Structure 1
Amino acid sequence: MPPWALVSPASRGIGFALARRILETTNVPVVATARKDPEKLRDKLRNGLDISEERLRVLKVDVLDENTITEAAAACKDFHTKNSLQLAFIVPGLLFPEKSPAQINAEDALLTFRTNTLGPMLMIKHFSPFLPKKSTKIGEGGDAALMEGLPPYATMTVMSARVGSISDNMIGGWYSYRASKAGVNQIVKTFDNHLRAVSGDNAIAIALHPGTVKTKLSKEFWDNVKPGKLFESDWVAKSLMEVVNNVGIKGRGKCWDWQGKEILP
């Protein structure tokens, strides 16, 4: 079955860089998502790239609104009826830096979980049916050329963070963000167990830690980052693609950083 890729959201930061990277280094059709102005994002993603019109579709998705996810999945079903989702980056992110318990705000914490944890879970709910099953033949015949630059097994990735590791938590703080990312790691492990049963080695799920990236999410903390540890989005996208292509079947269900090193739960 011909492969395709998904990046959600792709409107800025890591998601934007990942969508561009896939368009530049592979031959597969790409579905990107944005909460608003999908046509504007489509033009921005295509800027400077020599790609065909049909290679990129941008759909409206807000992970806080399941109806938009349902509609996007239905649209993908229309134009990828006989195609298999080979690579997905699910990357929504929100951070409120609670340095002490007194700074915990219930509404902010709920929004953090809805964005960072429930959002990816709903994306998995609606887009996992596009992943190959055990019986799916991947990369055969004319599809082989489309597999260039992609992992040989379909990979669903969800953006996590090192601070989601309980064993690595030495300084505390960031209660909602830490807990939401720990939840991501559990979701990925649970979903990968599901894929073992329905997809075998044809599909895996992993979590990723991109490091501290120079995006709006981390802007407040740039001054506290050690020299050489504040990364540009394009560099991170390149690194994460390398991790995805090299992590291997034995790396399924785990969290990996931008260097390809496992982050323990």
Structure 2
Amino acid sequence: MVPWSLVSPASRGIGFAIARRILQTTNAPLVATARKDLAGTKHKLLDGLDVDENRLTMLEVDVLDEDTISNAAAACKERFPTPINQLQLAFIVPGMLHPEKSPAQIDASSALLTFRTNTLGPMLMVKHFSPFLPKKKAIQPEEHDLQGLPPTAAMALMSARVGSISDNALGGWYSYRASKAGVNQVVKTFDNHLRTSSGDRAISVALHPGTVKTEFSKEFWGGVKQGKLFEKEFVAERLVEVVMGVGVEGRGKCWDWEGKEVLP
């Protein structure tokens, strides 16, 4: 049995740091995706790491193009035939932000692109990659087979605290907030499916990374409280630990980088 992991996309930002963290802390195969320059991304992911480069498989995925997702899943099916091999740890982390401050700034095309990237893209990843998660009657991997991966298979989707309706005291960011609230609903709905198909063998969770020092959030660094702007390597370490630790009791919920639940 060969349990494996997935990070999509892994070309930059949090996804890049998570992929490197998994390479450093496990011995399992990792599938990482990028929209372009697969060879260059692979080189950067492996740079400075003392790991077997054969563990890392790069595949082209653009979450706006379902054909690329389908093709990547087909490549994984060939590389990791089920049910002998199973997807044990997955991070689905595409993101886009158009920060509307008022209703007058809402632009239909920008909002649609936000939803396609933040919500529909992860939903399509769930569609094509959920069959790789273990089923109820699948062979339970031995501890040595897990090679640093969690005992309960987990598929984590990137959400955000601003996706919480109960936590929304400031307003603004209409399309981003709504798209991340949608992610939380996708996670809960998918986890209900896993309860039936996988039982306690697989779960789905949403994640809030905090404000991370990446190009994605650069415009907003100045407004972040002292001590609340994090390096991507720190956040990657924390998010991997959170997903490793929540277990079946934490399924279907959104968890922040500290391991605290973000209420809907």
Pairwise same-fold verdict (TM > 0.5): yes
Once residues 32 and 155 of structure 1 are traced to their aligned partners in structure 2, the CA distance between those partners, rounded to angstroms, is 16
State the one-letter code of the partner of 1:93: G
Q: CA offset at residue 149 of structure 1?
A: 2.6
Once residues 74 and 191 of structure 1 are traced to their aligned partners in structure 2, the CA distance between those partners, rounded to angstroms, is 21
Q: CA contact under 8 A between 2:46 and 2:53: conserved in structure 1? A: no
Give the aligned partner of residue 229 of structure 2.
230
In the alignment of these two chains, the number of paired residues is 262
Q: CA offset at residue 136 of structure 1?
A: 1.1
Does residue 169 of structure 1 match 2:168? yes
State the one-letter code of the partner of 1:248: G
Q: 1:72-100 deviations in whole A, cap 9, x for unaligned? A: 00000111013100000000000000000
Give the aligned partner of residue 121 of structure 2.
119
Once residues 80 and 201 of structure 1 are traced to their aligned partners in structure 2, the CA distance between those partners, rounded to angstroms, is 22
Q: CA contact under 8 A between 1:26 and 1:146: conserved in structure 2? A: no
Once residues 52 and 147 of structure 2 are traced to their aligned partners in structure 1, the CA distance between those partners, rounded to angstroms, is 17
Give the aligned partner of residue 101 of structure 2.
99
Once residues 149 and 242 of structure 1 are traced to their aligned partners in structure 2, the CA distance between those partners, rounded to angstroms, is 11
TM-score with structure 1 setting the length? 0.97
Q: CA contact under 8 A between 1:112 and 1:180: conserved in structure 2? A: yes
Once residues 145 and 211 of structure 2 are traced to their aligned partners in structure 1, the CA distance between those partners, rounded to angstroms, is 32
State the one-letter code of the partner of 2:119: T
CA RMSD in angstroms comes to 0.8
**Following superposition of structure 1 onto structure 2, how do residues 4-153 of structure 1 map, counting pairs within 5 Å?**
4-81=4-81, 82-140=84-142, 144-153=143-152
Query: Any unmatched runs of 5+ in structure 2?
Result: none
Once residues 161 and 53 of structure 1 are traced to their aligned partners in structure 2, the CA distance between those partners, rounded to angstroms, is 32
Q: CA contact under 8 A between 1:27 and 1:146: conserved in structure 2? A: no
Once residues 161 and 140 of structure 2 are traced to their aligned partners in structure 1, the CA distance between those partners, rounded to angstroms, is 33
Q: CA contact under 8 A between 2:33 and 2:59: conserved in structure 1? A: yes
Once residues 41 and 12 of structure 1 are traced to their aligned partners in structure 2, the CA distance between those partners, rounded to angstroms, is 9
Q: CA contact under 8 A between 2:94 and 2:122: conserved in structure 1? A: yes
State the one-letter code of the partner of 2:170: I
Once residues 121 and 47 of structure 1 are traced to their aligned partners in structure 2, the CA distance between those partners, rounded to angstroms, is 31
State the one-letter code of the partner of 2:89: L
State the one-letter code of the partner of 2:90: A
4+ residue runs over 6 A deviation:
none
Q: CA contact under 8 A between 2:28 and 2:148: conserved in structure 1? A: no
Give the aligned partner of residue 239 of structure 1.
238
Once residues 96 and 58 of structure 1 are traced to their aligned partners in structure 2, the CA distance between those partners, rounded to angstroms, is 29
Q: 1:189-210 deviations in whole A, cap 9, x for unaligned? A: 0000000000000000000000
Q: CA contact under 8 A between 1:157 and 1:206: conserved in structure 2? A: yes
Give the aligned partner of residue 178 of structure 1.
177
Q: CA offset at residue 51 of structure 1?
A: 1.8
Q: CA contact under 8 A between 1:21 and 1:238: conserved in structure 2? A: yes
Q: CA offset at residue 165 of structure 1?
A: 0.2
State the one-letter code of the partner of 2:24: E
State the one-letter code of the partner of 1:257: D
Q: 1:86-142 deviations in whole A, cap 9, x for unaligned? A: 0000000000000000100000000000000000000000000000000112322xx
Q: 1:152-177 deviations in whole A, cap 9, x for unaligned? A: 11000000000000000001000000
State the one-letter code of the partner of 2:188: K
